[in-house]
Structure 1
Amino acid sequence: MFGLLSRLYYMSNPPKTHQAQANSPLKTLNFGCLGAAKIAPGVLIDPSPRDAKRAKKFAEEHGFQKSYGGDTGYQDMIDDPEVDVIYNPLPNLHFEWTMKALNGGKHVLLEKPATDRAEEAAQIFSLAASKNLVVLEAFHYRFHPAIQRVKAILESKELGAIKNITVALTAPAGTAKDGDIRWSYELGGGSTMDPGCYTVNVLRYLASSSSPTAVLTAFAVPYSPRPQHKKVDKMFPATLALENGIFGELHSNLSEPKLFGIIPRIPKLTATVRCESGTVEIFNFLIPSYYHYITVAPSGKPRRVEKSYSFHGVAKGEDWWTTYRFQMEAFVDKIQGRTPQTWLEPQDTIDNMKWIEEIYAKDGFGSRPPSKYVYREDEK
């Protein structure tokens, strides 16, 4: 309890960091945030219209030095020579505005899922490579010591070869209310795209070099029987085959019904890996910085519970650092030419979107609509 309270205190009241030294060869990076998304304060300090007043208010509340409003606000930010990095949390506008940001010479921290189609993700990273710019899909949990500890246990072969991986991520009914962008097909909505993209990513990460080979089953449940929601899933279970005989089970739900119609269910935030000689399970892989536990159960031996909030001096970080803080440190290291503690390679992002599309193909809902934006090299 003391550890939890201490982490919560420092998350809300982080110690002041040292300013960059005047003689440092590294340039201080200036970040720009496209839109006033609710997630932005946690990641960078709901997508919004390009409203000058709201942009100014958001800037004042969260310490931004400038705001950009009006119909040209997003492009004005990209064109600002003082901005080095763009954070893009815009719904269904990831592809368009990431391409425009890269074209404007900016690095990009891109919310997940990176795009609505794997081919769009490939275009993003191709352009970034041609311009020597950094793009990172913001799967923040991957940068925290907790999930990395689970992977280390698996790679140690203490439990033998992996046989089965089960990942579940759910949210209680009402988390995304009717009219929320996550229920819009045109805006890339659906459970598979939201919590589901995490389950696919966790499965692939823990399976390591054993990549998926096929979607065996997928059964999506529509959000609503109304016609406008017929291709938007509120829940899906799926099973995947992976190399080396591994079997994967995924479950995602954006609207888990209440018990007896009145009691909200506790979200499922678990990943369980069954191996030849035991199992390992992590509770709360999504936001482990608040609280998590890793249960290791070797066959024929006593089970143990581990927790991992920092890298214990092996790499930078404090027990109270959030997943977003670990992610930001890695992102900045990459831009500055340093080696980050861990990283998501471009192919990782492309493959994650590929398998999301494969799941949608299997359940009959189909991929989300492609962006109408077409990149041109001579675009200004």
Structure 2
Amino acid sequence: MLRVGILGAGGIAERAMVEPSRDVDGVEVVAIGARVPSRAEAFAARLDLPISGDYERVLSDPSIDLIYLALPPVVHARWAVRALEAGRHVLCEKPLSANGTTAQEIADAAAAAGRRAFVGFHYRLHASTVRLLEVLRSGVLGSVQSVEVDFSIPHFVVKPGNIRLDGDLAGGAVMDVGCYAVDLLRAAWGEPEVVSAAAELYDADPRIDLQTDAQLRLPGGLPASVRSSFIGDDTGAMVMRVTGSDASLEATSVIVPQWGATLRVTAGDDVLIDEKAPEGENSYVRQLEHLRDVLADGSPSILDADRAVGTMRVVDAIYRAAGLQPR
């Protein structure tokens, strides 16, 4: 049994860990910690978790195998290192950390402790994403000519007071949704080079990008454009479009495939592929199944922290290209 303790009593803890754990054999969430212990106690009472208190209460429990950090990325390194040194494995909510330097600290601490650290890019484990990467690598598009990724949250979602608009907490659109785009591009094509970027800033905190448009160069000189936004239209976007010499691809709901992801490949008027996400599959459930299995057999993971460091270094480079400082 993989016993999980959570640090952070926000909504993501319930949605990404407690609820899916109830559909995964061999995984049990047993503890919740919060800066204010009464919040953890209320969370535990509502969701029937046996252990609650402050962060130290959770970290010190020897029965816990994995700590899930449902915290702002600016504190991930601090608490991940503490958990790893206490002998626990760690899953960081995405992104892995505030920047490439602190992300590397997490990876190094895991290696030193002989434990595993992971980033919560749950979408990578969903069948729709596995299929998307399979199609991208299949050659059906011919010679790929351009890639466009638009991950835009509808404008009415991220409002004043949201932690994603707080520079002290390492907020910003590239941090929140752009990290997914970078991770996906790296998975499909390899390491990108940042060519240029432009950001629209938040008036109340000019450290925060409400929207950033980045131009990247993928291996082989392939151009890629990435939009990360908190000010999308009423419907938002989670789309990847790829143009090839033989066919074009469009994938939707990439970040959260269970929200109706589609994959369509066309060549002129011919539809070569037209698929929808499997009914009922949940990426957070798949993530927990994956972590259970790789921790049991020691096999490498696409969520390993040492790989995720590269994603954070690209995020840093996008911010620098836009005239902003890495978080």
Alpha-carbon separation, structure 1, partners of 2:86 and 2:65: 10
Residue 161 of structure 1 and its aligned partner are, at CA, apart by: 2.9
Specify whether residues 49 and 178 from structure 1 end up closer, same or farther in structure 2 by C-alpha distance, changes over 3 A only: farther
Q: Percent sequence identity over matched residues?
A: 29
Alpha-carbon separation, structure 1, partners of 2:5 and 2:78: 16
Residues 218 and 363 of structure 1 are in contact (CA less than 8 Å); yes or no, is this contact kept in structure 2?
yes
Alignment of 1:149-188 (within 5 A): 149-188=131-170
Residue of structure 2 in register with 1:289 after alignment: 258
Q: Gaps (5+ residues) in structure 1?
A: 1-27, 258-264, 310-318, 369-380
Residue 197 of structure 1 and its aligned partner are, at CA, apart by: 1.2
1:142 has 2:124 as partner: yes
Candidates 177, 185, 194, aligned match of 1:203: 185
Alpha-carbon separation, structure 1, partners of 2:148 and 2:47: 38
Specify whether residues 362 and 321 from structure 1 end up closer, same or farther in structure 2 by C-alpha distance, changes over 3 A only: same
Moved more, 270-279 or 232-241: 270-279
Candidates 7, 11, 35, aligned match of 1:50: 35
Residues 330 and 343 of structure 1 are in contact (CA less than 8 Å); yes or no, is this contact kept in structure 2?
no
1:358 has 2:317 as partner: yes
Alpha-carbon separation, structure 1, partners of 2:268 and 2:108: 46
Residues 149 and 308 of structure 1 are in contact (CA less than 8 Å); yes or no, is this contact kept in structure 2?
no
Residues 165 and 203 of structure 1 are in contact (CA less than 8 Å); yes or no, is this contact kept in structure 2?
no
Residue of structure 2 in register with 1:333 after alignment: 293
Residue of structure 2 in register with 1:65 after alignment: 50
Residue of structure 2 in register with 1:25 after alignment: none
Query: Structure 1: which amino acid aligns with 2:173?
Result: S
Moved over 4 A (4+): none
Residue of structure 2 in register with 1:321 after alignment: 281
Alpha-carbon separation, structure 2, partners of 1:339 and 1:133: 13
Residue of structure 2 in register with 1:220 after alignment: 199
Alpha-carbon separation, structure 2, partners of 1:295 and 1:137: 28
Q: Which structure has the larger Rg?
A: 1
Residue 338 of structure 1 and its aligned partner are, at CA, apart by: 5.9
Residues 6 and 33 of structure 2 are in contact (CA less than 8 Å); yes or no, is this contact kept in structure 1?
no
Specify whether residues 345 and 107 from structure 1 end up closer, same or farther in structure 2 by C-alpha distance, changes over 3 A only: closer
Alpha-carbon separation, structure 1, partners of 2:154 and 2:99: 27
Q: Which has the higher helix share?
A: 2
Residue of structure 1 in register with 2:208 after alignment: 232
Root mean square deviation, CA, Å: 1.9
1:33 has 2:33 as partner: no
Deviation track 1:47-83 (CA, whole Å, cap 9, x = no partner) reads 9952222211101222311101xxxx21221111111
Residue 100 of structure 1 and its aligned partner are, at CA, apart by: 0.3
Q: Gaps (5+ residues) in structure 2?
A: 19-31
